Structure formats: structure tokens, C-alpha cells
Structure 1
Amino acid sequence: MNTIAEHIADFLKEYAPFDNLTFHELSQIASKIRVLNLEKHAILFKNNDVLHDSFYVVAQGTINLSIIADAEETLLNKCHTGDIFGLRPFFAKNNYTMTAKAREESILYAIPISVFRPFVANNSDVLNFLLESFAANTRHTKETNYKGKLIPDNAFYSDTQSEMQYIQSLNYNNSPITVPITTTVKEAALLMVESLINNILVCDENNNPIGIITEADMATKIATGRFPITVTVDTIMASPVVTVFENVSLAEAQLLMIKHDVTHLCVTKDGTNKSVVKGIISEHDLIVAQASNPGVLIKEIKRSQVPKDLKEIRDRLGDLIQNSIQKNIPISHISNIANEINLALIRRAVELSILDLGSPPARFAWLSIGSQGRKEQLLLTDQDSILIFEDVTAEKYRDVKDYFLHLAKKTTSILEKVGYEYCPNGHMGSNMLWCKSLTDWTKQYNSWMNTPGESSNDLSSIFFDYQIVFGEPKIEEALENIIYKNAQNNTLFFDFLGNDALKKNSPLTFFKKFVLEEEGENKDKFDIKTRALMPLIDGARLLILSNDIKGINNTYLRFKQLAITDTKNADIYLNCAEAFLTLSKYRTLEGIKNDDAGQFISIKDLSKLDREKLKNALAPMRELEELIKSKFQLTQFS
């Protein structure tokens, strides 16, 4: 191996993803690499340039990646020594969607795609890294002048939560055009033009796939004159086709396309070419799907600088939730992902406020409470939060509280612009009642829990559903310890919470009909939040506190844990857990349909089957009510 190639291999092995390859493999790659010297401000490629045959590693210097929109250049990323960029030729066939310009004199290594592709196809860690790099250096925008081309192309987000990959939605053509092997190329071409598609499947008499023809085949084999247009399709088709199961994940589809160097995958009933065709997945489908990849959304949130960027990402979360529900992905998985993205959005709002105001004068914790605190916010509802700062000396207290009130006001204002409305009850960190020191919060919880109903600030149970979004975890732990210490043998507190949980009006009449609203704008609709979900939420909270179970704030998981802790009543808890998921799904579907919080459901618009499912989900509530009455010796008639 020559010394230049050896020097390059030595350099590459220090950086991901090349550190996943052996030195022998690196040496093979290095011998084919071109070294480029770029002057300051030299452009390597610009928006809409034809793709190069290589991608690039920065050996020395800095490369700016930018887009130009509305005559304004926006910097997306700076690539420094060891960074990879220009990966579009790996994952897409359309032209570059950004400009790469040298910020200073720079040296680049150009790695030919054809040389590197085999190493990617055999190593998922390498593929994973390239996809993440691609997403980080790409940007999605809905601006009309880009016609949606600037979509993140990452398809594989590596995270400890398997749900991240599980939920990636992939829509594809499930009614592809198929032709028998006797069809002429001319007939196939006319069908493609009429149907406005760029591919056609060739099938046998049982509708099993035997080949595929794409626009590329037409261009390279017919337009060039290699074959006359009168030949039959088997002459120019690619065969065999690469086949996949109907529920193939985005990551698997991307890997298969790279491995087999194809632009289409054929979906069949059992995933082989010996079964019936169910659809066709194109490269374009993958790129569209990747726009709502949870990993990409979280990366974009971290890079967002203004509320408008965060709002656009929150809108895309709505699309992701809708697609996932349509695909029958379990609502618990969808909730996990939505929670991660909601958390990231709120966290970024706090960060942007700190960037604006300067460093905090004391340690603090921003906690989401209510539905966000329970990780149950699938729809855009109002924001609920509290802010706790560490204890400071008396002379500093006023200045410190002023800073945190300013911080909270900025944060809640950003979140309002993103689409989370202000809490109508003022349960937000920007309210001076809910922005205070740990000692003051300790007094607040002591008062609520030891003299419930007497406090001037009425006890709201949402203050017992919380999760830390930003700041010092030890502050959240301290709050939890205060709550559970006060809860021990606190009959008065549980009597208050128990009666509160039981006073919600029954969802069904004596004759098992839905209790509907009698007046107002929601007349004749069913209040699924107040009559169905809240009794389950309140019951789970009450039981989890009384059983001294810490660290679980989600209603579904609370019931699952109660089934393990209190085995005697396990069936009731498991039924309640399932009921909660079913009810949450109906509320979410209603919210998506009406673009609101989904609280009021039009029963008459549901199918007979859906009405029965909804009614069945209300059945466990009666058992839960009886359990609470006997456990806490309550006599409230609900």
C-alpha cells in the first residue's frame, strides 16, 4: 500500500463510522480515495447540482452546509475535521438540496460510493451512522419554493427505546400496476404514463412477482435503442425482484435497498416471491416517511432557534401520531414516542429562554404536570407546569425568584407559539404561585396533604402527576420524597382524594346508554375526558400513592404495576389498563378528526361496533369504583 493511502487509512480509523472497519478494509477504501484541496469560499456543490459519485470526509479545515430560501442564506451545519457530509448519493437519486462551501482553506477526502457501498451493506453500524449523519445535515421545510424536496433522509434512529424504530411509519402504493409476462414494452410504457407511475410489476398467472420495470429500464434499454419497443416485458425487466413482508420497517427497507442496490421493493403476502403481490415500496416512499422519523424530529428540535421551527416539528408530530394510529400501532408505543418529542420541545423552549436571559442564578427544575406529567399528551392541549428552584439566602430570594419568573414567562410564551395553549387555571411556572423555592413547595405540599380542602389554593390532583423536563433531577427526587412521606397513613388525604375520584358523574345511564351533554355547544355529545378517562386517571393516582409506589406517573403503567403489587385485584387493574388505552385511542381519533382536544365525542357518528367497544371500555370503571370505596371505606354514591 502506498504511503498516502496508509496515511489516509490511519486518519480514518480515528473517526466513526470507519472505526467499525478493519485496517485491511480501510486500506482497500483508502487506495481509491481522491484528495481535494479547496480554496477559501470555494463551492464543492450547490443546491440542485447533479449528485457526485463520492461522499466527503473533512481532513482539514471547515465546510459550511447551507440553503438559500427567500434570497437569504441559512447555515445548516459546519463540518470540521473527521465529519462526513455529501451523503445524498447514498440515499436518494435527486439532486443536491444544499450548498457545500469551504469556510477556510480545506482538504477533503472524496470516497467513491461504489467502493464504500459493500462495506455498508454488510455492516448495520456503519449504515446507522451514515443515516444519522445524513439526517443531521439535512433539513425539512414546508416552504413552497422548495416543493417539499428538503426532507430529512434519515431512516434509522438508534435509541435505547426500541419504540423509536418500531413506530416509523411507511406508506407505500398498495395497489401497484401488474402485467403478465406476454405484455409488450410499449403496452407497459403506456400503462405507466396513464397511471402516472415510474414502475410496473411483471407477475405470473397467480399474481406472484417475477420482475420489475422502472423508468430507468425504459431509459437505458429502450430509449438508447438496445431493444425495440415491441419486445415483451421479460426482455428488459429486472429479475428476480427483492421482496418484503407487509409490515417491513423503514430501517429494514432502507438496508435492503442498499444491500441489493435497487430502488424498489415488492411487498408480498409472506415476504417471498412465491406469494401474492400486496404493494410496491419506492425510494421516494422512504424519503417521505423519513420526514416524520422520531429520531430526526428530536435532532431538529435540538437545533431549532425560533418558536416557528418548533411549531413546524409539533405539526409533524401530529402527522406521525395520525399515521401510527391508522397503522394500528399500539397506543402505548405511540404515547411513548409522543412523550419523548413533547419533552424535547418543552426542554428546547426552556433552553432558548436561558440563552436569551443568561445563566440561572441557582439550580432549578422545570416540571411538566397533568397530562404531560403523565406522558399522556397525544393531542395539543394546554400547558401545565411548575418551577422549583433550590433554597437561597433571604437577601437573594427576590432576585432569584424574579429571574425564574422571567424565565417561566418566556418559556410559556414560546410554548404558546408552538401550539400549547396557556392553562386557563393558571397552572404554569409563569404564575408566581407555582414558581418558588423547594422549601416553599414543601410547605405547599404539606398544607395540601395534611389539611386538604382547607388551603386557600385548592388542591388540584394534577400536582401529583409530574415529570422533570429540564434542570436538576435531585429537586424532583426531593419533591417525590415530600409527597410520599406525607402520604404515609394519611387517612384524611386519601379520604379527600378518594371522594374526589368518585364524584365524577357516571358515563352510562341505568339503562346502559351513554350520558350525553344536555346543553351548550357540545349538546348530545359524550364527554370522554371527564366521564371516562378522568375516573381512571384519578383512581390510578390514588391507588399508586396509597401503595407507596414511586416513579410511575403514567396511568396505563400505574394500573400494570398495581396488578403486580396487589395480585388479589390484578384482574380489575389489568382491565382498567386496557380500558384506558381504548378510551385514549377514541379520544385521540376524535381530536385528530376535529383538530381539537378530542374531549367531546359524537356517539351518533360512531359505527355500531365502535359504540360497543367504547361501552365495553367503560365496564371496568364500576369495579374500580367499588374497589376504591371498600379500600378507603368511602360511602360516596357516584
Structure 2
Amino acid sequence: MKNTIAERIQDFLKQFPPFSMLGKEELLMISGQIRVLYLEKGEYVFKQDEKCHDEFYIVREGAIGLYRNIGNEKDLVDICDTGDLFGLRIMIIKKNYRMASLANEESIVYAIPSSVFKPFIDENKDVNSFLLETFATHARNYYTETEKGKRIDNTISIDTANDLSTLRTISYRKKPLICTSSTIVKDIALEMNNRKVDAVVVTDENRYPIGIITDSDLRAKVATGLFPATAMVPEIMNTPVKTYGKKLTIAEAQIALIKNNISHLCITKDGTRSSKLVGVFSDHDLLVSFGNNPSVLIKGIKRAKKIQRLRYIRKQLERLLKTYLEQDIPTLHILNLISEVNDALVVKTIELSLKEMSEPPHVKFSFLVLGSQGRREQLLLTDQDNAIVFEDVSKEAYESTQSYFLELARAITKNLHTIGFEYCPAEMMASNPRWCMSVTEWETQFRTWMTTPTEESTLLSSIFFDFQLVYGDSGMVNQLSDVVFDGVNKSKRFLGLLGVSALQKPSPLGFFKQFLVEQNGEHKDTFDIKTRAMMVLIDGARILSLYHNLKGVNNTLLRYEKLAELESNNKELFESCAKAFRVLLKFRTRQGLMHKDSGRFIKLNTLSKSDKLKLKRCFKPIRDIQEVLRVRFQLKTLM
């Protein structure tokens, strides 16, 4: 007689690895021994520090959150959706759970007995590798929602995010607790408790590591009575220790911990046991490393119910940014990943703000981000630049329609401010009636800026023409883009006027090659890296991209990349402009993280000689791109 329940489970499992790697009969045998768990929201599958179950789990329906308990607070590490595995410790190291798992919503989970599945791990290398990788990274199985080459929900590639995470070098504890072999166990237990650490490294007189004692050793060997508290450290320590160098990657650390069935690695000066101890890396540190990656943050954003949760995630993103900079991950990768998370934050903010409204919108609308965020170059939390475009309505309905979207915009900008995006001092935000209009009004505005330019309209064009849709209808945004390129094609004079603005930016260096600083005001005696250096490169890329009708390319680095392809005679110049912009962007970001501000105004006396030279090398491409604009648009005749 057929077991229809087992067949249904089989049909589900065969969609996902590692089960898709098994034969039909093998899968049916496993399915027949699976328990089905029905979980109410808030119900635990297992709790932190609980003894490992004899099963691991896969989500059938719903969502299971994985949490670390920190005091009385639960810190979300990951969320498992349909097809995701969790609770794999029983298959790998059989230690107590380091995280809790509970249902974030009503869920169905399949519990798979470890004894039933273990033979397939032993016999199938692909299954073995998949489970090891899933356990080590605590990453979701990307086959759940994607096919090869596709991106998840138009946000971020899980492959890319996980690859970047695992290729980073580890962040280890640089001041580990140490003791000598003449220490009594009771003393080190008290010190571990006082320092709130889970391990002590035993070193010799040269500070070379010779052994390690963890909290689990104290429980297993002392608390059980096998050894007295007065025993000497060498009696219970684990030796020899596993040592690695400071450049150990997260991926390598995962493998080392799992392969050796240990919870701690000793980091030494040259990676050997015959060298000084410089730190300790634990399985907890590994969890922290994976808990703070873009894919996890985006999943957290999508499930957030309150703005305050988004603020917490944005702070995590700042820490991730700092790590990326320290690891010298390519700038374009950093921009893409941080921008995806920022966009997800804005989208979720809009969704939560719409729920605050008394009624849904009656017409289509688009929410645009402008300036640095529109160019996908906003690494630090600078001020907001955004706008709303709504569908055309009758004259009679215009005022009430605009009033609705202004109210929505006020809610959005207020919530973005709560997250950490400052209000724009010039009020270039959707909550300003000037920047919340129908598509026809926006088209008229854009045409006016291009046909009868003024100093203000030239400035506004440089901000608003770097727009990007983050929420809503794309059709209206495409209409606005067509208006811009149509106006440019009809008259190159407008590009010339934009070029004049680029040439009028204040110079970074004086006649004697000294940095030119602000002469008065709040930022007196500081160097304005944005206005004096970065903006000329941004303006040059924008103007030449408009000249070549490069639609859909807003990012400055990508614009120079495309320009190098289109103008082979200027390829070297455009590549040097891109290199200079990368250096300036990273420099400003590091300054901002260091001083907890926008990084725009730099105190030169805080820079080293090498940093000043690095900055000065970026200034030649600035002069060169200005010369290209001057010659191409005959700007001497326009000024």
C-alpha cells in the first residue's frame, strides 16, 4: 500500500539539495521516516544551549528565525524560508545548539532523523560537501529562490554576498585571556567568569601557545568531578592547539573548525605554534561573521515590522562597510552591495509608511532617489535627496492628489530620518511640493531647465538627472528619462552649460601645489573633498554620458567604464578618472567612519604624508577631464 504522505514529502524534498542529489528510492525511504512539525508563531524548534536533537530540519512552509540570546535580548542571525536547512549540528559536531530557532510565523517543518540520513553523507561526497558548506556558512540554500545567473528579488546575489563574506579575513579577539602551566584550574575559571570569555590559552615563557581550556572543558572535566578545582591547568587543557596566521579567511576558518571538531583557533604571529600568540578565533566569532552579511540584512529588512528595526539593521550595515574597506574588497562590489541594502531599506520604509496612511493611493506613483544614492554611491549616511512622480490626473483632482502624496512623502522622509538618513538642508525631498508632481509637470520642469537654463536650474539638473527608481511604476520614470535625452539631442548647448559648472568648481590645489582649504565658516581650514575633487569627476562622467546617450548608467565608475569603450582615444584618461574616483570615495568613506560624519571636510593636519600624496595623485585626472569638457563644448566661448 502506498504511503501518500511520504510521497508528498518526497515530491517536496527532491526540489532542493542535498535531497535532489539522491535517487528516487533513497528519497522515498527517508521521507517515510520524517516527522511533520506544525508550529505556531513564536514556538521554538530548539533553544540556545539545548542538547542537540537527533534530527535536523527543513522548512516546508512559513519562516523559522535563528537567534542568538544576548542577555534578555534575542539577536536575529538568519531567517530560514521554504527549502532551507537548519539544526545541522547533530550531523557535524554534535554539540549543544549555539542558537535558538523559533517560528516567525505559522510554519510547517520536516524533522529528518540523523541516523536515517547519515549513511548518505558517508557514501555521497556531494551531499557531504553541501551539508558542510551549509552548516559552516549558515547561509540559505540559494536554489530555494533562484536559478543560476539570476538575482534574488532584484536585490542581491546570494552567491556574491556569501562569496564576499567567506573571502574576508577573520576578525579575531586580539586580547585573549592567557595563563601559564603553573596556574590552578579554579583561578582560571574565576578569571574566565570575570572577563566573560569562553576560553583561556595556556602559553609558555615566550607566549607561545601550548594548550587551551574552554568552558566546555570545565563543565566536562571539572564540574563532573573527574578533576578537582585545585588541579593544575596541564591536567585538563587540550594540546596541541591548532594555530593559524592573521590572514586566515573566514572560509578557511570554517573548514579548520569543522575538520578538527574544535571550537577555537589560536592566531599566532607567523601561524605556527613556535610563535607568539596574537589572538583567538572561535565558532561564535564565525557566527558573527556570517550574521553580518548583505543577504542576511536584506532578509531582515523584508521581515521588519517597525522602523526602529530598520535603524538597527542600518547600523549593522555600517559595520559591514567598515569590514569591507579593511579587507580591500573592490570598490564597485562595495557600492553594489551597500546600495542594494540601502534600496531595500527605502523600499521597506515606503511600505511601512503606506500602512500609516488612512487609504491607499488612488493613482500610480514612483519614488525616486537622487544625487549620490541615485548614482548608487552612497556609502555613508548623508542627507536625503528624493522625489515623487505621480500619474496624471484631471485639473480638479490635482490638488487633492498632490496633497495625498505630500502627506505620504512626509511620513517617508520622517521614517528615513529615524533610520539615519538626515533631512536635506535644501529640502530637496519629496515632502517639498516642488519635488512632488505629476509626470506631465515633471516633464515640463525638465524641459524648462534645459531650454531656459539658470544657475539654479543647472545645479538642480546635476542632482535630479541622476535619478533612480526604487519603488513604484517604472513607465513614468522611463518617460522622464526620454525627456532628458531628447532635450540633450536637440541642443548640445545645455551640456556646455553643465560643463561650465564643472569648470567653475573650486580647485583642489593652489599655485604652489598646496591644498586649498575653506577660508571661513563652520569648516574653516578643512579640505572639502566632495566639492574640490569628487564632484568634477562626477560631473564629467554625467555630462559625457548624456552626450553619448548612455541610458540607465548612473554610477560614476560604470559611466567611465562605458566611456572608455566608446572613446578609445580617451580610454587611458577615463580609466585614470575611475581610479581617482575610487581612491577619493574610499578615502572619504574611511574619514567619515573614523569621525562619525559625512567625511566631506578633512582636517589636513590629521593626515599622514603618504595620505596627502595619495590625494594629490587624484587631482591630475580632474584637470584632464575639465580640459576634455572645455575643448569638446568650446566652453571658452560660453563663459
Per the TM superposition, whether the score is higher than 0.5 is yes
Instruction: Write out per-residue CA displacement over residues 314-339 of structure 1, whole angstroms, 9 at most, x where no aligned residue.
Output: 12212222232233333333222221
Matches within 5 A, 1:185-334: 198-199=198-199, 214-221=214-221, 237=238, 241=242, 246-249=247-250, 253-254=253-254, 257-258=257-258, 261-265=261-265, 280-334=280-334
Instruction: Confirm whether residue 348 of structure 1 aligns to residue 355 of structure 2.
Output: no
8 Å contact 2:84–2:141 — kept in the other structure? no
Distance 2:424 2:450 in 1: 23
What's the counterpart of residue 141 of structure 1? Answer: none
Matches within 5 A, 1:372-521: 372-453=373-454, 459-488=460-489, 490-521=491-522
What's the counterpart of residue 631 of structure 2? Answer: 630
8 Å contact 1:516–1:527 — kept in the other structure? yes
Deviates more, 1:369-378 or 1:198-207: 198-207
8 Å contact 2:244–2:270 — kept in the other structure? no
| Aligned-pair CA distance for 1:266 | 5.3
> 1:208–1:462: structure 2 CA closer, same or farther, 3 Å change rule?
same
Deviates more, 1:460-469 or 1:70-79: 70-79
8 Å contact 1:5–1:27 — kept in the other structure? no
What's the counterpart of residue 134 of structure 2? Answer: 127
Secondary structure of 2:618's aligned partner: helix
Secondary structure of 1:162's aligned partner: helix
After TM superposition, the score normalised by the length of structure 1 is: 0.79
> 1:83–1:295: structure 2 CA closer, same or farther, 3 Å change rule?
closer
8 Å contact 2:564–2:575 — kept in the other structure? yes
Distance 1:631 1:598 in 2: 33
What's the counterpart of residue 112 of structure 2? Answer: 111
8 Å contact 2:134–2:141 — kept in the other structure? no
Secondary structure of 1:122's aligned partner: helix
Distance 1:427 1:42 in 2: 43
Instruction: Confirm whether residue 166 of structure 1 aligns to residue 167 of structure 2.
Output: no
What's the counterpart of residue 147 of structure 2? Answer: none
Distance 2:3 2:360 in 1: 50
| Aligned-pair CA distance for 1:610 | 1.0
| Aligned-pair CA distance for 1:252 | 5.7
Instruction: Confirm whether residue 369 of structure 1 aligns to residue 370 of structure 2.
Output: yes
Matches within 5 A, 1:516-555: 516-555=517-556
Distance 1:230 1:426 in 2: 70
Distance 1:26 1:189 in 2: 51
| Aligned-pair CA distance for 1:303 | 1.4
What's the counterpart of residue 616 of structure 2? Answer: 615
Deviates more, 1:268-277 or 1:253-262: 268-277
Secondary structure of 1:422's aligned partner: coil
| Aligned-pair CA distance for 1:511 | 0.3
Structure 2 letter corresponding to 1:412: T
Secondary structure of 2:635's aligned partner: coil
Structure 2 letter corresponding to 1:166: L
| Aligned-pair CA distance for 1:214 | 3.7
8 Å contact 1:55–1:84 — kept in the other structure? no
Distance 1:502 1:347 in 2: 36
Instruction: Write out per-residue CA displacement over residues 113-144 of structure 1, whole angstroms, 9 at most, x where no aligned residue.
Output: 67667846421598279935699xxxxxxxxx
8 Å contact 1:244–1:265 — kept in the other structure? no
Instruction: Confirm whether residue 339 of structure 1 aligns to residue 332 of structure 2.
Output: no
Instruction: Write out per-residue CA displacement over residues 233-256 of structure 1, whole angstroms, 9 at most, x where no aligned residue.
Output: 59963668496882413x564466
Secondary structure of 2:621's aligned partner: helix
Matches within 5 A, 1:84-99: 93=96, 97=100
Structure 2 letter corresponding to 1:127: T
Superposition CA RMSD, Å: 4.8
Deviates more, 1:199-208 or 1:461-470: 199-208
| Aligned-pair CA distance for 1:537 | 1.1
Distance 2:104 2:443 in 1: 56
Structure 2 letter corresponding to 1:523: K
Deviates more, 1:77-86 or 1:212-221: 77-86
Distance 1:205 1:448 in 2: 75
Distance 1:430 1:294 in 2: 30
> 1:212–1:412: structure 2 CA closer, same or farther, 3 Å change rule?
same
| Aligned-pair CA distance for 1:13 | 2.2
After TM superposition, the score normalised by the length of structure 2 is: 0.79
Structure 2 letter corresponding to 1:10: Q
8 Å contact 2:136–2:255 — kept in the other structure? no
8 Å contact 2:254–2:286 — kept in the other structure? yes
Structure 1 letter corresponding to 2:596: D
Distance 2:327 2:109 in 1: 44
8 Å contact 1:65–1:101 — kept in the other structure? yes
> 1:189–1:636: structure 2 CA closer, same or farther, 3 Å change rule?
farther
What's the counterpart of residue 142 of structure 1? Answer: none
| Aligned-pair CA distance for 1:588 | 1.4
Distance 1:230 1:335 in 2: 55
Distance 1:532 1:420 in 2: 24
Structure 1 letter corresponding to 2:503: L
Deviates more, 1:600-609 or 1:390-399: 390-399
| Aligned-pair CA distance for 1:49 | 6.9
| Aligned-pair CA distance for 1:216 | 3.0
> 1:565–1:78: structure 2 CA closer, same or farther, 3 Å change rule?
closer
Secondary structure of 1:262's aligned partner: coil
Secondary structure of 1:387's aligned partner: strand
Structure 2 letter corresponding to 1:589: R
Secondary structure of 2:380's aligned partner: coil
Distance 1:494 1:591 in 2: 32
> 1:259–1:473: structure 2 CA closer, same or farther, 3 Å change rule?
farther
> 1:279–1:35: structure 2 CA closer, same or farther, 3 Å change rule?
same
8 Å contact 1:51–1:96 — kept in the other structure? no
Distance 2:409 2:288 in 1: 36
Deviates more, 1:620-629 or 1:384-393: 384-393
| Aligned-pair CA distance for 1:12 | 5.5
Structure 1 letter corresponding to 2:451: N
8 Å contact 2:244–2:265 — kept in the other structure? yes
| Aligned-pair CA distance for 1:287 | 2.5
Distance 2:203 2:79 in 1: 49
| Aligned-pair CA distance for 1:274 | 11
What's the counterpart of residue 146 of structure 1? Answer: none
Secondary structure of 1:635's aligned partner: helix
What's the counterpart of residue 144 of structure 1? Answer: none
Distance 1:309 1:548 in 2: 41
| Aligned-pair CA distance for 1:215 | 3.8
8 Å contact 1:88–1:134 — kept in the other structure? no
| Aligned-pair CA distance for 1:380 | 1.2
| Aligned-pair CA distance for 1:544 | 1.1
Tell me the matched-pair count. Answer: 610
Distance 2:198 2:59 in 1: 40
Secondary structure of 1:111's aligned partner: strand
| Aligned-pair CA distance for 1:285 | 0.5
Structure 2 letter corresponding to 1:620: P
Instruction: Write out per-residue CA displacement over residues 165-215 of structure 1, whole angstroms, 9 at most, x where no aligned residue.
Output: 415764113576899xxx859679967876755446789999999976544
Deviates more, 1:48-57 or 1:553-562: 48-57
Structure 2 letter corresponding to 1:159: S
Structure 2 letter corresponding to 1:294: P
> 1:558–1:60: structure 2 CA closer, same or farther, 3 Å change rule?
closer
| Aligned-pair CA distance for 1:580 | 1.0
Structure 2 letter corresponding to 1:325: L
Structure 2 residue ranges without an equivalent (≥5): 122-126, 143-154
Instruction: Write out per-residue CA displacement over residues 344-381 of structure 1, whole angstroms, 9 at most, x where no aligned residue.
Output: 11111111122333433222221101011011111111
